[in-house]
């Protein structure tokens, strides 16, 4: 003899004596009704995520543009700094060259020997 559990007895009582096939069909129908709503929620969520991604991409594009601009400015400043440094070095070298040609400096250099210290 087949013994039914309490939950099976309750299912039979609530389903109005419906057969197993009828219960499966009812369950599938409920699932099919829920599916379009679930799909709409998913589509809505995906659309919102897509819009958010577009905004982030726009912001990233702007930030990339600003970064390139800053890099170009830094490169230009660096080149200007190097030019200024080279100009200073050239001026100092010519001053030293002019000093070395002075007779007084030449006399000092001739009289200078490392052992005099």
pLDDT in tens, 38-58: 888 999 999 999 999 999 999
Q: Which helix H or strand E contains 37, and what residues bound it?
A: helix 20-101
Question: Looking at the domain assignment, is residue 63 inside a domain?
Answer: yes
Question: Looking at the domain assignment, is residue 85 inside a domain?
Answer: yes
* CA dihedral over 93, 99, 100, 102, signed as positive or negative: positive
- Per-residue pLDDT at 1: 45
Number of structural domains the chain divides into:
1
Question: Looking at the domain assignment, is residue 38 inside a domain?
Answer: yes
70 CA to centre of own chain: 17
Tokens 């060259």 belong to 97
Indicate whether 97 pLDDT > 90.
yes
Lowest mean per-residue pLDDT among 25-29, 38-42, 44-48, 88-92: 25-29
Q: Report the alpha-carbon angle 39-44-47, nearest 5.
A: 125
Question: Which residues form the domain of 88?
Answer: 17-112
Question: Looking at the domain assignment, is residue 12 inside a domain?
Answer: no
- Per-residue pLDDT at 37: 80
Question: Looking at the domain assignment, is residue 4 inside a domain?
Answer: no
């Amino acid at each position: 003899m087949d013994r039914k559990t309490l939950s099976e007895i309750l299912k039979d009582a609530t389903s109005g004596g419906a057969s197993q096939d009828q219960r499966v069909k009812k369950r599938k129908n409920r699932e099919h009704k829920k599916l379009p709503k679930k799909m709409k929620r998913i589509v809505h969520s995906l659309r919102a995520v897509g819009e958010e991604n577009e905004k982030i991409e726009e912001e990233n594009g702007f930030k990339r543009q600003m970064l390139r601009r800053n890099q170009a400015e830094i490169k230009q400043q660096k080149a200007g700094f190097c030019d200024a440094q080279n100009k200073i070095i050239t001026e100092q070298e010519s001053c030293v060259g002019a000093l070395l040609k002075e007779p007084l400096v030449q006399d000092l250099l001739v009289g200078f020997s490392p052992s005099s210290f």
